[in-house]
A and B are shown apart, each in its own frame.
Chain A
Amino acid sequence: MKKLIFFTLLMLPLLLVAQTISGTLTDASTGETLIGATILDQKSGKGTTTNAHGRYSITLQGDTAHLRFSYIGYKTEYQNVLLKGNRQVNVKLQPSVELNEVTVTADRISSPKTSQMSAIEVPVEQLKLVPVIFGEADVLKAIQLLPGVQSGTEGMSGIYVRGGGADENLFLLDGVPLYNVNHLGGFFSAFNGDAIKNITLYKGSFPARFNGRISSVLDITTNNGNDKEWHGGASIGLLSAKLNVEGPIIKEKTTLSLSLRRTYGDLLLQPMIMMIAASESDGEGSANAGYYFYDLNAKVTHKFNDRSRLYFMWYSGDDEAYFRVRTRYIGTDEREYMKLNYRWGNLATSVRWNYELTPQLFMNITGSYTRYRQHLGVGMEEDYRSGGQTVHEEAEVRLNSGINDINARADFDYAPSPDHAVKFGGVATYHLFRPNVQSMQAHFSEEIPIDTTFGESSVGAGEFTFYAEDDWSINEVLKINGGLSLAAFAVQNQVYPSLQPRLSGRFLITDDLSVKAGYSYMTQYMHLLSNSNISLPSDLWVPVTARIQPMNSNQVAAGVFYTWRSLIDFSVEGYYKWMNNLLEYKPGATFLGTSTGWEDKVCMGRGWAYGIEFLAQKSFGEITGWVGYTWSRTMRLFDRPGETLNNGNPFPAKYDRIHDISITLQYKPNKNFDAGITWVYSTGNTATLPMQYISNGGNTWESRREVPYVESRNNFRLPAYHRMDISVNFHKQKKHGVRTWNISVYNLYNRQNPFIIYPRTTESNSSGEFYTGLYQRSLFPIMPSVSYIYKF
């Protein structure tokens, strides 16, 4: 209590004489809010940045303020503001026309001036220029190219951050968690680049407002939509077609942003499948089969006034594989029908209300719903003649699983002075896990109809989090971000509380050079049961239980940050991370889509990861891009009684890649042409491979005299992974818009990177001997692609 009184007394003189300027920064041409833009009072040297909704608040003393508003890719604006009473100053920044123009003075999240570290903000336009497979711009695959982030298996969208697992990343789409971020087994991510405005990846030093995963947070903000005029674009590539439109429903009041993506291969193949079915059928047959995925992003934003906005966000994305065959026998009323339908995907929707309670206090209330579910249905129907009558029989088996979250949260930004940026709030989430529900309906002649549901029942869980953090400029040199998060997870009559401290600090040596350090503790209350290296829709999310405890991680990081002539950001970061209660499958265990008894099939252990990351990033100019290098190690130890792996000795994790290099460059000399090139190299993945056969020691288990001997888990290192991709875009102004031809080549020099390895006995010689070799299969050879884009 004494501290509170002291703090209030300390702040009182400031509050009495200071005035607050608040407002919103937007793009002058589209009305889109700008996230992370910098506002600096050149007179006092105090500054702040816009929040995730483009809002800022700065409290200053004196008669006037000389404000500078700046953002990457925009012309800097200057305004003199009289400090007489609180003021609303909304600023519209003009996009920079000249590509070479150096207009950027904004404090990017990883710049030397911020207290945040272990976070990377990559401009979305830059991510879209990164060449990728099939010409499909994919933000997750671009994120994989950043230091500290490992990709999983080739071509997959999974990310492994600083030694964490694929299920330890929190993907937030406008603040709503998404559980499955993959399409087509992970070859494509669920994020349509056309719908995205801003992406920030946090690898450590997590601000207290982020919770629920132990390795990373990928915070994605979608476009609000142009509030002045309608624009849009359409594109068609080898795999998918995309359409996006945005514009004002009510000018400068209500906007809509809509993006749709769908693969179309199934539609093209349909006539061929129908022809084959007709020719192969004994009677009148028809068939259709195929696979597709789609994403739909929609956002409606309504501005009540300068202080109040309402957002409605919708995302749905599904994959579906289907197969249906109908046969009608000629001259009879007999017929057969078989179907298989496998559908999986996400739905996320939210309603959000922003309101400026006072010039210094900004409120954000969100209600959201997110769901991941999979459905497998297999059925048949048959009509046939028996005893002079037509008999009808039918059966269908369905398998459903998924997770549903209902979430309510309140977030507040409080800026009592330029030296403090306080955030606090609370989140309540109800999770409903449906790991595995199977149902069967059948009606066969002369038998009792079956209509039953079985499998594990749903598991409900409540998760509550309260957080508070302050970004505090102690003086010109020292700035800290301290926070605390209190979380609790209630499941199966068990409550797991967790107090999670977060702290990061910056020591500014010069305006362009700083040293930062941070610590964070994170807890995760759910696990993804997966039994393969690719993302299968059958992977199941399950909660912690009375037996399986929450995962947690402690991470410390320190680094040096330098900006060279306001052009290039350099950073060197080192980190060490401890992880507890990690899960691995017991030797020989398999899930294959069933969650039954899963607790018996896993063991709990711990892990640690450490490394050094180098990054040089240039975000504007003719040539942009980044060069990243990571040296890291990731280890696991499972030595609890009854749960040992690798004889209780430490072993490298599957994605323990010691060296990881990525070079990503984009070249944009004029508005008619741009090109991108990417080169990646990493140490090969590990694999568990027996190199020797040994005697079974006369063991009583009879079936083998020899047993394969593995010296240690993940003892074998696969060949190194590397490839180069290029893409070029040719733009041309047309009467109603701009058309673009994109030509991309994935794996330009046709590197045969291992996708799977396996032993194979290949040949025998004349003396009756045979040869066992180790072989690999590659997935993607050189892959050229072309796509057409039209924007109006």
Chain B
Amino acid sequence: MTDGRAPPPGPGLGVIGRRQPRLDGFDKVSGRSVFADDIELPGMLHGRILRSPHARARIVRLDTTKARALPGVKAVVTNGDAPDLVFSERQPLLAKGFVHYVGEEVAAVAATDPFIADEALRLIEVEYEPLPAVTSLRRALQPDAPLVHEWAAGNVAVTHDRDFGDPDAAFAESDLVITDEFRSPVQHNTLAEFHVAIADFSNPDKLHVWTPTQSAPMYQMALAKAFGLESSQVRIVYGNVGGAFTGRGRAKPHHFVAALLSRVAARPVKIKATADEEFIMFRGSGETLYRFRTGVTRDGRIRALELDVTFDAGAHAEWAMILWLPALYPNWLYRFEGLRYRGRFVYTNTVPKGSNHGGIMGRMSAGWMQHLTRVAEELGLDPAEFHRRNAIEAGDHARDGSDFGSCGLKECIDRVVERSGWQVKYGRLPPYRGIGIGIGAQASGGKNASNDTSAAMVKIADDGRVTLFTGIPDLGQGSWTVMAMIAAEVLGIEPADVNVVGGDSDIVPFDWGAFSQRGTFMTGNAVKVAAEDARAQLASVAAAALGVQAEDLVFAGGRVHIRGEAPDAPGRSLSFREAVAKAFHGGEGRYVMGRGFFNSPRQSGSMAFSFGAQVAEVEVDPESGAVRVLKVTVAHDLGRALNPLAVEGQLDGQVFSGLSQVLYEECRMDAGQVLNPSRLEYKLPRTWELPEVDYTLVETIDPYGPFGAKEVGEGPIVVTMSAVAAAVANALGEPLPQMPMTPWRLLRVIRHHRRRRARGAPGAAPR
């Protein structure tokens, strides 16, 4: 399954490039790993939230008297108890007079037992006067649609318009202009670990929160602002995180509600989402409408691109910051003369929404790559050749200001074309078999949403063991293991000799966290700097002991030796432990601690971009409309595979999640309610639905990445979604205007073909 694996570690790299099993593996397979839900604090209460059953309504009466009187109930809160507490601008934490979506937080209770908390919720009396609601994006955009908020004319929350070059001139100079539309659904992040938070605000000067997160600083800042604290007065503990998939980037209302209940009760309060609540309070992908327009020359050069994207924000524009990304994205893939982007966030009376795994680019690319495939085919060009002809290269300076210090995009295309047998299959498959190609890029962090700093510290005990302190959360991607590998590589020791301490904002140095594919690149660089700082201190001690210059020393294989000499030369080398002991027990008494932080010298955008190409092969059953993905051929330019074993795990998961989103995943909505709120009804792939996966890791050794590494955590899923969508379109002979590409949607197309064929219409048979 994994031919084309990463090459062996480069010269001088003892640890980097090794297939390293995760260092927390023993704890995770034995049931020892502690997740937030496993924590029991003395005196801990159980909180529950009363949520709006209406998409829009006025609260006529809200009476909590009976709930407050129930034995075991320690706190009941409504907006009246915390009128000034806001979740975000114009968004009270608890509903104030009106509710704007199904699931909105109306009241909350904390009790000594979850059963009692449930009982107390039932005793809260609420009388609603339902109001006309807008629960779909199409309805919200109609001129006569009710307004979700009176201040937002046309229900438009935020717009982001941006042009690069001169798109009008570029379209005018094009020989062929093609337009397509696409639509993606509401999707859920389906985290293995449900939403959960334990807050202890017993001491009003310190708020402790145990919860899974992708970014402790963002949670700290939001909670501090709401409760009138400084960020450092909020402690986030996030030891093990049960998956994230973009779903844990921002604190959600339950974090604030748990803190409020804890402040009122002066006891720790735990709130854990119940099974159906998980599908009510989620903030996954909103429905999104896309219009793609592309102008090309007859010889297949892209001149002009236009992307018009309309997002369903839900009732509050919590995730408006994701609007800017589709404007930049084409700059990282293609050379062109002009790009026009029009993005808008539109209010609906539904839960506020953001992204699913793959972010915006995944779902957009499922449509955009079908569109670009059609553009190529209209020109009579092989889509693989079309992508290649327009692909950016290392050294290019893009119109958004991005530079590409390394770029393996063309190599990725070449490798998947070669390994998938593209040239013998494309255009030559039997009916209802399809093959599709997609390409993609991903920035490794960048100063678009934050100042993007990561910091790290190492301390070295006199027994030679190293402790690394990092704020990067390990969401399962294996960051803690790879950070230990980076520190070990610098210090010339084994990863198992590095103890990683993470997951507690009171202890670890600052790190924005695991989002925007910044972990390996930003945190990895910070860890490298911190380890190098410690190594320099040890080197000066060892140099004095060995009578050489510090620059002449090599740290490798658990030893410190003189360059060009044998690592264990007697009297001319030290073990790592001896070097540490010389520092600590020598006259200076030096305790070695290294520190480092990393930040980009670029004032905007990213320092590095990963690239990928994938080919998917599918088979459509014309009787049922079901799609089977037969094979996905992946090539990803990740800079360098620091830990190829974990890289493969990332690729596996993204192929799985990518095909799942394109083919299966959809929250079926009615009047703001999710109609399929469980993992039985919200379809995910099962064990027998996984295709054969062929990987090629393209190592371009980025000049800025730690040991040349970029990212592999989200880039691949965007490409999987592109390739699978293009393959289904290829099987049916026409682009699919909507995902997920479920059997009933495909059957509609297949039946239409059959009717046309029965009438003898031309071009009705699938390729």
Query: Do A and B belong to a common assembly?
Result: no
Residues on B close to A: CB < 8 A?
Answer: none
Residues of A within 8 A of B (CB): none
